Amino acid sequence: MDVLALARLGESLGVAAEGIDLNCPVADATREALRRALLEGLVLCIRGQTLSPQAYLAAMRAFGMPMMQLRVASRHPDVAEIMILSSDDRDNDGDGQRLVVGAHWHSDDSYKAVPCSLTALYGVAVPGSGGDTQFVNMYAAYDDLSQRMKRRIAGLRVVHTYDSSRKGARVARLTPEEAEAVPAVTHPLVRTHPETGRKALYMNPNRMEAVVGLERAESDALLDDLTHHAIQEKHQYRHKWRRGDVLIWDNRCTMHKANADYPEGECRLMHRIIIEGTVPT
């Protein structure tokens, strides 16, 4: 029988869960405790897992409906809902150079009309040092804004696109069919979480193109200022991976970024699953 133990990871966000095996059906009470921990902690780490791709997918269904990954080339050969993230990744549809997915601050899938709600990342192999994932609490980032700034940005919408001219990191090139499936969309700059009712800055510096209705210079300055405000260290948690971690985070109220600072030749292999979301409001 599972004996769930929860512990705080960071000051601003992050909860660790131990004492459960995701290969086995999760009891309703345990599932609800994990759901609450994720809603309150924004990032949930379930420690010590050894999962086949099929078992991993089945376990994540407890958190919602898994979605298909956009890029066909990155899909797991046996479970298409899993995206493989590896230290060996190369932009094979582009120039073939090394590709570090998520190397700049972002929120997953914001370039879609209906972005995913949650992301799960399973640490199949992790380097001996480096390769951390950093997170930002976007509730706290919004709450820390001045009342004047809150009034200024209320109601503003931002254009999000897969290959933004403002991007700070390389993105994999899409096939024509994949690009056609994700035209530019607009989302609110301040998002209300559909489950908690709390307001959060909804930003993705790697995908945001411009604020609707503002001149480009003013738009760029506003987005840059809000990004710098959001990523202050007091809003952050830095996750140091252990092999077997299953890390789940809420894209509706966080940003994150991957670090490629691990030694050359060390393996970092992650399996990613995204969970269906709703239109941001």
Number of domains in the chain: 1
Eight-state DSSP code of residue 26: P
Q: What is the pLDDT of residue 92?
A: 47
Tell me what pLDDT residue 204 has. 96
pTM: 0.93
Task: Please determine, for residue 168, whether its predicted confidence score (pLDDT) is greater than 80.
Answer: no
Q: For residue 62, give its domain range.
A: 5-275
280 located within any domain: no
What is the pLDDT confidence band of residue 101, given thresholds at 50, 70 and 90? low
Does 281 map to a domain? no
**Cβ neighbours around 73 below 10 Å, total:** 16
- Two tokens, residue 267: 């393996």
Comparing 89-93, 223-227, 244-248, the range with the smallest average pLDDT is 89-93
pLDDT for residue 11: 92
Helix (H) or strand (E) holding 219: helix 216-230
Nearest to 56 by CA among 254, 256, 244: 244
How confident is residue 71, by pLDDT bands cut at 50, 70 and 90? confident
The rounded distance, in Å, linking the Cα atoms of 62 and 226 is: 34
The model's confidence at residue 98, banded by pLDDT at 50, 70 and 90, is low
Distance (Å, whole) CA 123 – CA 98: 20
* Partners of 79 in the β-ladder: none
- Cα torsion for 163, 44, 27, 22, to the nearest 10°? 70
Which of 57, 30, 102, 66 has the alpha carbon at shortest distance from 246?
A: 57
Residues β-bridged to residue 256: 106, 135
| 99 pLDDT tier (thresholds 50, 70, 90) | low
How much is the mean pLDDT over the chain? Answer: 92
Distance CA(257)–CA(130), nearest Å, equals: 13
Which residue bears the tokens 């699953």?
A: 273
Band (pLDDT 50/70/90 cuts) for residue 229 is very high
Query: How much is the average pLDDT of 149-158?
Result: 98
* Residue 252 confidence (pLDDT): 98
pLDDT at 91 over 70: no
Q: Select the more confidently predicted residue: 274 or 163.
A: 274
Predicted pLDDT of residue 93: 44
pLDDT at 275 (0 to 100): 98
Distance (Å, rounded) from C-alpha 160 to C-alpha 18?
37
Would you state the pLDDT for residue 138? Answer: 98
Q: What is the mean pLDDT of residues 235-258?
A: 97
Cβ contact 251:118 at 8 Å? yes
For the chain, percent of residues with pLDDT exceeding 70: 93
CATH of the domain at 149: 3.60.130.10
- The answer to whether 124 and 269 are in contact (CB under 8 A) is yes
Residue 90 in this model has a pLDDT that exceeds 60: no
CA distance 192 to 254: 13
Residue 76 scores a pLDDT above 50: yes
pLDDT higher than threshold 90 for residue 69 = no
For position 9, what pLDDT does the model report? 96
What confidence score (pLDDT) does residue 100 get? 61
The mean pLDDT of 160-186, rounded to a whole number, is 88
